[in-house]
Structure 1
Amino acid sequence: MLYYQMTGFMGGDKHADGHTIAMPGHADAALFLDFDGTLVDIAARPDGVTVPPEVHALLDKACDRLSGRVAIVSGRAVSELEAFLPDFKGPLIGSHGAERRVDGKTQQTQDFDQAIIATLQRLVTDFASLTPDFLVEMKPTGVVLHYRQAQEQGALALHFMESLASAATGFRLQPALCAYEIKPDSVGKDIALTGLMGQAPFSGATPIYAGDDLTDEAALAWAADLGGTAIKIGGAETVAANRLPDPATLISRLDEWLA
């Protein structure tokens, strides 16, 4: 069942973007946005992403309109987010909350076992070499096995990564769309956001969270629990009450709201 959810077969066609999404007022809102599949379209390879000019313009407008209460929340490393969004000066939450950049300073949120991380990365790299269409993505606190170009091998990827994660103390498997990640079990986007909301200028704000992947579900639930707005991008199953079909539609809706 898990493998079919990852490849999207269980999601159905749930694009329901015709309804009005209730958004808080600008004076009270804080905007939290995933990156891949939310601000930008998914690419065949993580390094193949293209950031449209509309994204940069939207982030500039949002930072101005919301008095800086805007953050990017991603599974990518902070360094990659900085490369894709060089002009964005707001907080970056990377590696699902294992890293964050605030006020221009990047740091890991806690200490992680670097020896285990190195071993996991080596084992996944060795495994992926057996199937050329597998893609390994290294992260500062873990490793991802992408099988978007080898979906017929998805069940094999799941079996290997699940077994490896179960043997790594302090780490767990994080499923994603056409990928499996092993990451520290003490981090999550919702955990990172809870910490960020305790600091200025976010303290007391009403959250808006938009994300597309299973990795975003906890953060979507977090936003809804705080009385905010949770927006799912795409057609997969979700806890969010609101849904938009793709990044372009999200950008358009946010642009209208910020006007």
Structure 2
Amino acid sequence: MMYYEMTGFMPKHPDGQERPDIRFPDHSNAWLLLDFDGSLVEIADRPDGVDVPDRVQALLDRAQERLDGRVALVSGRSVESLEHFLPGFRGSIVGTHGAELRIDGTRSRAVEWDEATVSRLQRVVADFAALRPEFLVEPKPSGVVLHYRQAEELGALALHFMEALSQAAEGFRLQPALMAYEIKPEGVGKDAGIKRLLGDDRHVPIYAGDDLTDEPALGLVRERGGVSIKIGQCETVAEHRLAGPSQLLDHLERWLG
């Protein structure tokens, strides 16, 4: 059994069967919120190795037009990283799991964090990972990620190290992800970021995500009577399930026309 399956990623439906009977709201009454890695684009071995198909930018452009700008990316990536991969995207961004926001082109912090602590965490994780070249360290504006995708058998080692480190860092907590562990500020989450973005907006939210970090957002959207879509086979609170990014793009393209 893979370690990520032992820590919350075991498929709930062993056959991986899709539940694609998605009924989207009318365009005039919809807010589209989309995760990036694993949802709009395929997961890459390295965060900087993602390939963004042309159809992704075309779809986002079409969504901006049809939904009168009610389109947002909601990602664990920083706002800067998303701007790099999608330089033509003009919608809102909930970045770094909700720690950062970009609304109407203006970046802001959704929460405050201690810069010195973040720097220390990044140095310590980098030193630890240098002992095992299979690990990959991803610094973020408000924290740090340790990836073990290249060596799944090291998942337990990564967990023990990152858990101990997060407990020593006041104001920070551990966030499990798909074959990775992240230390991030307390009070940060994609659900909280979406709440800050939408406020009292009564449009019907649509959210698609693939990771454990997307589950709170999927739950929030479902509570609001929206459309929740899980990408992949892992256990989820979402109402609908699609196999991968291509299937999500197919459904959204048909809906947007």
Of stretches 172-181 and 16-25 in structure 1, the one that deviates more from structure 2 is 16-25
Which of 225, 245, 248 is matched with 2:246 structurally? Answer: 248
What is the aligned partner in structure 2 of residue 111 from structure 1?
112
- Post-superposition, which runs of at least 4 consecutive aligned residues in structure 1 deviate over 6 A? 6-9
TM-fit CA distance, 1:13: 3.6
Q: Secondary structure at the match of 1:63?
A: helix
**Equivalent in the alignment of 2:225:** 227
Q: CA deviation at 1:185?
A: 1.2
Q: How does 1:6-17 map to 2 (within 5 A)?
A: 10-11=10-11, 13-17=14-18
3-state SS of paired residue (2:125): helix
Note the alpha carbon deviations across 1:180-227, whole angstroms, 9 max, x for none. 00001111111111111127xxx2211000000000000000000000
TM-score normalised over the length of structure 1:
0.95
AA partner of residue 67 (structure 2): L
Quick check: 1:6–1:175 contact (8 Å CA) kept in 2? Answer: no
The offset of 1:19, in angstroms, is 3.9
Q: Note if contact 2:207-2:221 (Cα within 8 Å) is conserved in structure 1.
A: yes
With over 3 angstroms needed to count, the CA separation of the structure-2 counterparts of 1:207 and 1:2, relative to structure 1, is: farther
Kindly provide the CA deviation profile for residues 78-126 of structure 1, in whole angstroms up to 9, marking residues without a partner as x.
Answer: 0000000000011111100101111111121122111111111111001
What residue identity is the alignment partner of 2:164?
A: S
Question: Shift in Å at residue 2 of structure 1?
Answer: 10
The aligned residue for residue 102 of structure 1 is: 103
CA distance in 2, matches of 1:3, 1:81: 29
- Check whether the contact 2:2–2:153 (CA below 8 A) recurs between aligned residues: no
- The 1:147–1:206 alpha-carbon spacing in structure 2 relative to 1, beyond 3 Å, is same
How many residues were matched structurally?
256
- After superposition, residues 37-48 of structure 1 pair within 5 angstroms as 37-48=38-49
Q: Which runs of 5+ in 1 are unaligned?
A: none
Partner of 2:75: 74
Q: 1:62 and 1:159 mapped to 2: Cα distance?
A: 42
SS at match of 1:27: helix
- Going from structure 1 to structure 2, the CA distance change for 1:110 and 1:178 (only over 3 Å counts) comes to same
> TM-score scaled to structure 2, two decimals?
0.95
Percent identical among aligned pairs is 59
Q: Is the 8 A contact 2:8 2:212 kept in 1?
A: no
